[in-house]
Amino acid sequence: MYHAIISGTGSALGAQKVTNEDLSHKLDTSDAWIQERTGIQSRYLAQEGQTTASLAYDAACKALEDAAVAATDVDLIVVATATPDMHFPSVATQVQGMLDIKKCTALDVSAACSGFLYALDTAFNKIQLGQAKKALVIGAEVLSRIVNWEDRATAVLFADGAGAVLLEATEETQGVIGVDIYSDGSFGDLLKTVGGPGSSGQQGLIEMQGREVFKQAVSKLAEVVDFSLEKYNFKAEDIDFLVPHQANKRIIDATAKKLKLDASKVVLTVSEHANTSAASVPLALDTANKEGKFKKGDLLLLEAFGAGFTWGSSLIRWQK
Ligand code: UT7
């Protein structure tokens, strides 16, 4: 069995920064409400010419550069997205084409806001089995194109961006300790798109019962982080950084409080990026990496919760 380390990270954002104040001119909302209920101050929205695939490609290029690895050495691309630009080809194969990689395995996974953990799990397993050596694991979304811009309850939450990591096989060093992912389809109606896509020819728009989703997110995340620490034989005090899905600062605070983590150990980007679904965890990882927050050997706990419901966590020893 091989191990896997993160050797590079990268990210990309929608080209237009939109503040809460900007949104309050179009919707019956306010900066005070959005900040108090979510912690969000701004978000980045894709502009004409930006697509899920182009954001994924930009993030992938930066991750390759950070790892000092040539695109032609990549043998696996896994893209997590809930907003592919088209039904097919997949975003992963579009990225492969843009990177001019003539032969590799490329696939998309769909698990909404937990998508990056699902993609990481897929790549980690293939690396462990010796089926891949250098994998681009990407979360990319253009959620602004499936937001109902007349619904203030959801329009203020979601945004566009992409994050990528390069996951490399090694024989000696353990980076990824474990990834655990779960789903429960009985909650599907609480957070879904309505009115498409596909045969109807329409684009489905996001609909969410926020309060119920909030409750489930807090309880499932508490459960999964406990389970993960126990499974891999760690204590909460061993965690150097929590890298959570960035949906709502109050959800993140609840997980940090449960783990008794000081705020300095929590990577928080929701205030600037808002909820970028599958892109949020790798975007947060890249932001913290670029800020020089992590040092070699740090223990990171990644977690996410999203539509489906899907949720999951991963413990990673930072080896960069
Ligand atoms: O990433 C995938 C998973 N998603 C999540 O984890 C999101 C989970 N849910 C949440 O983060 C929160 O439920 C929200 C941020 C979506 C909403 O916060 P809340 O504290 O649960 O508010 P609420 O839905 O209970 O609404 C409270 C009030 C309502 O008014 P009334 O009925 O009390 O008069 C809403 O109509 O706030 C009103 N409201 C707003 N007011 C100003 C809802 N949206 C807005 C808004 N601006 N944008």
Ligand 1 binding pocket includes 97 (Cβ within 6 Å): no
**By alpha-carbon position, which residue is closest to atom 23 of ligand 1?**
211
Amino acid at 131: Q
pLDDT mean across residues, the chain: 97
Ligand 1 binding pocket includes 187 (Cβ within 6 Å): no
Ligand 1 binding pocket includes 215 (Cβ within 6 Å): no
* pLDDT tops 60 at residue 200: no
Which candidate, 215, 216, 177, places its Cα nearest to that of 301?
Answer: 177
Query: Domain span at residue 108?
Result: 1-320
* pLDDT tops 80 at residue 199: no
What average pLDDT does this structure show over 295-318? Answer: 98
Ligand 1 binding pocket includes 247 (Cβ within 6 Å): yes
Which pLDDT belongs to residue 203? 74
**How many whole angstroms separate alpha carbon 119 and alpha carbon 81?**
10
For the chain, the domain total comes to: 1
Which pLDDT belongs to residue 224? 97
DSSP 146: T
* pLDDT tops 80 at residue 41: yes
Ligand 1 binding pocket includes 111 (Cβ within 6 Å): no
Put simply, whether the predicted model's pTM sits higher than 0.75 gets the answer: yes
Which pLDDT belongs to residue 202? 66
Which candidate, 304, 247, 253, places its Cα nearest to that of 276?
Answer: 247
| pLDDT, tens only, 1-27 | 999 999 999 999 999 999 999 999 999
| pLDDT, tens only, 250-299 | 999 999 999 999 999 999 999 999 999 999 999 999 999 999 999 999 99
Which pLDDT belongs to residue 198? 60
- Looking at ligand 1, which atom is closest to the CA of residue 306? 2
| Structural contact between residues 270 and 294, judged by C-beta atoms closer than 8 angstroms | no
| pLDDT, tens only, 126-154 | 999 999 999 999 999 999 999 999 999 99
What average pLDDT does this structure show over 92-114? Answer: 98
Residues 6+ away with beta carbon under 8 Å from 180:
121, 224, 227, 228, 231, 312, 313, 314
pLDDT band at 119 (very low <50, low <70, confident <90, very high): very high
Residues 6+ away with beta carbon under 8 Å from 191:
112, 206, 207, 208, 209, 213, 306, 307, 309
**How many whole angstroms separate alpha carbon 163 and alpha carbon 285?**
8
Q: What is the CATH number of the domain that holds 10?
A: 3.40.47.10
**By alpha-carbon position, which residue is closest to atom 41 of ligand 1?**
29
Pocket perturbation via mutation, ligand 1, pick of 214, 219, 281, 305 by most ligand atoms within 8 A of CB: 214
Which pLDDT belongs to residue 286? 98
Residue 265: count other Cβ atoms within 10 Å of its Cβ.
17
- What percent of the chain stands above pLDDT 90? 97
Residues catalogued as catalytic = 113, 245, 275
pLDDT band at 195 (very low <50, low <70, confident <90, very high): confident
**By alpha-carbon position, which residue is closest to atom 36 of ligand 1?**
153
What average pLDDT does this structure show over 229-243? Answer: 98
CA of 222 to the centre of ligand 1 (A): 21
| pLDDT, tens only, 144-192 | 999 999 999 999 999 999 999 999 999 999 999 999 999 999 999 999 9
| Structural contact between residues 45 and 18, judged by C-beta atoms closer than 8 angstroms | yes
